[in-house]
Amino acid sequence: MLALGPPALIVDAADVTFCSARALTVLLTVGSDAHAAGVPFALVARRRALLRPLARLDLHRVLRVHPTLEDALRGLDTSRP
């Protein structure tokens, strides 16, 4: 997907009610891959099931987390040189 050069990648996990360690690993991997490809990445999350592990593990420092899709769209810089 990233090889196609999308202007941005947003994972909308706003309605997630359970988050496993594997899901966190996938989010970190995708975020890292997007960064390496120069594709802005954002995560939409607003439920405790995802926000709590993100906060406990300080993952909000490496993942751009937004409470709504609209906020994520506004927060992404999709301009490229």
| pLDDT 10s digits, 13-45 | 999 999 999 999 999 999 999 999 999 999 999
Is it the case that residue 81 has pLDDT exceeding 50? no
Cβ atoms 12, 69 nearer than 8 A? yes
When the pLDDT of each residue in the chain is averaged and rounded to a whole number, the result is 92
pLDDT (average), residues 39-62: 95
Whether the CA torsion 52, 55, 60, 65 is positive or negative: it is: positive
Going from the C-alpha of 35 to that of each of 16, 30, 46, 56, 71, the distances in angstroms are: 24, 8, 23, 23, 19
At a CB cut-off of 8 Å and minimum separation 6, what does 15 contact?
47
What's domain 7-75's architecture?
A: 2-Layer Sandwich (3.30)
CA atoms within 13 A on the CB side of 70: 0
pLDDT (average), residues 50-73: 95
